Amino acid sequence: MHQEFLMGNEAIAMGAIAAGVDLVCGYPGTPSTEVLETVAKHRSQGTYVEWSVNEKTAMEMAGGAAYAGARSMVTMKQMGLNVAADPLMCLSYIGVKGGMVVLVADDPGPISSQTEQDTRTFAAFSKVPVFDPSTPKEAYEMVQEAFVFSEKYQTPVFLRSTTRVSHGYESIEVKDPDEYAVHEIGGFIKDSSRWVIFPRLANMNHRKIEARNAELTDTLSDYPGNRIYREEISPAYPAAFPSNQPAEPSSPPDPFTVRAVATGGFSFTYCMETRERIRREAGESFRLFKVSTPFPFPEKKALEFLEGLDEVLCIEELDPVIERSLTYVCGKYGLKTKILGKLTGDMPASGENSREIVQQAIEGFMEIPFSTKEPLDLPPLPVRPPVLCAGCPHRASFYAVKKAMQGKKTIYCGDIGCYTLGNAMPLDMVDTCLCMGAGQGIAQAISHIEPDTACFAFVGDSTFFASAIPSVVNAVYNQAEMTLIVLDNSTTAMTGHQPHPGTGQTMMGEIVSKISIENILRGIGLETVETVDPLDHTLAVETVRRVAAEKGVKAIIFRSPCIALPAARAAAGKTGPMVVDPEKCIGCKRCIREIGCPALVLATSDKEPDEAGIGQNGPDEAGVAKAVSIKAAIDSAQCTGCGLCAQICPVGAIRREVSHV
């Protein structure tokens, strides 16, 4: 064993490696992405890893490996679980042979997602057990336990992380390679009565699943992660925090026998911090129930916790899973304990918990008075809305379509990725955004409902492979009127530049043939498929006008590398930076007003009276009138030299900086 300072996602990956995982696959999505990347970096010999084309395929891959007795893990964010739901629901019924862990990173807030859905609720819906770690260290341990649990009960198992667990850091005692688990794969054994999900088998397995989960409500009460923290536990926080030993039955009564707190996941950390603060400043404590396996719910442990309590406050993210479960237990056993939380309005119904939210909720609930320091009178943080990077080719693509279609009735259906930011002013080029690949379906639907509308669907290169192809097939088959715009920047940029089928490289480091988007579209049946560099503004605008005027489904591929791929940009001659000639600039601000590049800024300069006119801005200290001229300038630290601004400047005041090297 040795100590490592690990991010939560790294800890999950290292835990899976220590468990002897044989196959890891997934689709990138914040906050889950680093799990698979860490496995790829540190994997044992013989461990296969891949970025699958989408989450559904990844779930099927992991299930197939588990059929053969291998230990497999599939990774995704909560939105990806929706895509993977079809095979998951069936895997729940059919079961597995080897251990299969489904790592889902939820995004409370949401910080980088369309929704903040709760995988614990999905676990109950799919009847799949779920482990809910509260720290990176616990995640490292739980993923190993999850593999054993999965094999014992022959079921997939969720490991549900959240952003603060996935992206938090902790010093963790990790296993050395010679301590990694060794298991026998065994191989796939043909048995149609076991692996072919006919209705009769599904009905029989459903009964088995319900019986198994009913049994697990008792079994999981003994799981060390489900713990009751009582008053006598050492106050030397956080020394008591990592302990998973259950409280002794002979423990003295709590000082608060009428009120207690139930929690799980990262909210447990905030609860423990608040508990220690109350102990330190008020000399008091309270009973705390930590739920690490929210489904199946540890019923017996819950009954032990509820004994003698009048009220319980449930603190959790995101759904009221613990709250509903405790309410059910109280009803089942005739307990009078009042359960409070999201459903009663005592905790926020949405959003991410914070230390402040949890502290205020517990202090108010416990009615524990103690002095607090006055908050610092700090100015508000500046608002920094997300924007497309300086030099991003997506800006040029959106701008070309906007100029080409100016004055026409249009709808621009967007998608999930960097290019969602095309909705921001001044571009204002994303009218809809639902989920990955949905833009194509929305655009073709509008084309049927409003034939006079020019319908555009934007999709990135990675998302095209992940979820857009079937929708384009649908558009061609059902004779929609739609222009598909593929924004190909040669990477999966939003989640950290992972490879995809169009990049020519796999996660195993193999160089393979690139899959051609053009060939796929022509194979589907599109007759017009054109590829153009969006940074060639005149050609891009002309191409959009011509292609959009054609009937049926047609496509334009705007291909230009992401600014984070410097080698590709250098090969394409897109290096900078650009500069503004202040003598030529007339201050029209067109470059700033129309494309919104963060590298373009306003600059002011004083001019003598004979240059700018006397008296416009009042006399200066010497009594001589001067005028302030406001012109465009370029922040060389941000500029990547894409050259779009130079192409739209009406007076040619912007040029590429001359290198003197």
pLDDT of residue 238: 38
Domain-located, residue 435: yes
Residues in CB range of 335: below 8 A, 6 or more apart: 306, 329
Assess whether 233 and 249 both reside in one domain.
yes
Task: Check whether residue 293 and residue 406 sit in a common domain.
Answer: no
Residue 569: predicted pLDDT:
65
User: What is the DSSP pairing of strand 338-340 with strand 529-532?
Assistant: unpaired
394 neighbors 493 (Cβ within 8 angstroms):
no
> Considering only CA atoms, which of 130, 136, 120, 38 is closest in space to residue 78?
120
Whole-angstrom distance, CA of residue 64 vs CA of residue 75: 15
Q: Are strands 227-229 and 287-290 parallel, antiparallel or unpaired?
A: antiparallel
Residues 618 and 561 in one domain: no
**pLDDT score recorded for residue 375:** 64
Residue 183 φ then ψ, to 5°? -140, 155
* Same domain, yes or no: 507 and 621: no
Per-residue confidence (pLDDT) for residue 414, from 0 to 100: 92
Domain annotation covers residue 385: no
Determine which helix (DSSP H) or strand (DSSP E) holds 130, and give its type and residue range: strand 130-131
Q: Whole-angstrom Cα distance, residue 98 to residue 403?
A: 56
**Domain assignment of residue 551, yes or no:** yes
3-state secondary structure of 224: coil
Pair 304, 429 in one domain: no
* pLDDT value of residue 574: 65
Task: Please identify, among 547, 571, 595, the residue that sits at the C-terminal boundary of a domain.
Answer: 571
- Same domain? 614 vs 560: no
**Quick check: is 287 in a domain?**
yes
The helices-and-strands tally (H runs, E runs) of the chain is 24, 22
| Any domain includes 529 | yes
Q: SS3 for 384?
A: coil
| Biggest distance spanned by C-alpha atoms of the chain | 98
Q: How many domains does the chain have?
A: 4
Residue 146 covered by a domain? yes
Q: In terms of residue numbers, what domain contains 278?
A: 222-366
Same domain, 647 and 503: no
**CATH number of the domain encompassing residue 110:** 3.40.50.970
- 392 close to 565: Cβ distance less than 8 angstroms: no
Q: Which of 556, 571, 586 is the last residue of a domain?
A: 571
CB 625 within 8 A of CB 615: yes
The verdict on 77 and 171 lying in the same domain is: yes
* Same domain? 555 vs 513: yes
CATH of the domain at 357: 3.40.50.920
One domain, residues 452 and 588: no
CB 87 within 8 A of CB 63: yes
Shared domain for 133 and 14, answered yes or no, is yes
**43 lies in some domain:** yes
User: Which regions of the chain are under pLDDT 70?
Assistant: 231-257, 369-375, 568-576, 605-628, 658-661
Tokens (6 digits) for 631: 């012109």
Task: Calculate the alpha carbon distances from 309 to 257, 335, 444 in Å.
Answer: 6, 9, 58
Q: Which residues contact 554 (CB under 8 A, 6 or more apart)?
A: 482, 483, 484, 526, 527, 528, 529, 547, 548
Of 549, 571, 593, the domain-final residue: 571
Instruction: Report if residue 605 sits inside a domain.
Output: yes
Q: What is the pLDDT of residues 46-55, one digit of tens each?
A: 899 999 999 9
For residue 166, the 8-state DSSP code is H
How far lies 518's CA from each of 100, 467, 469, 514, 581, in Å? 37, 16, 12, 11, 41
149 and 188 belong to one structural domain? yes
Note the pLDDT of residue 373. 55
Q: Which of 197, 38, 16 is nearest to 99 (CA)?
A: 16
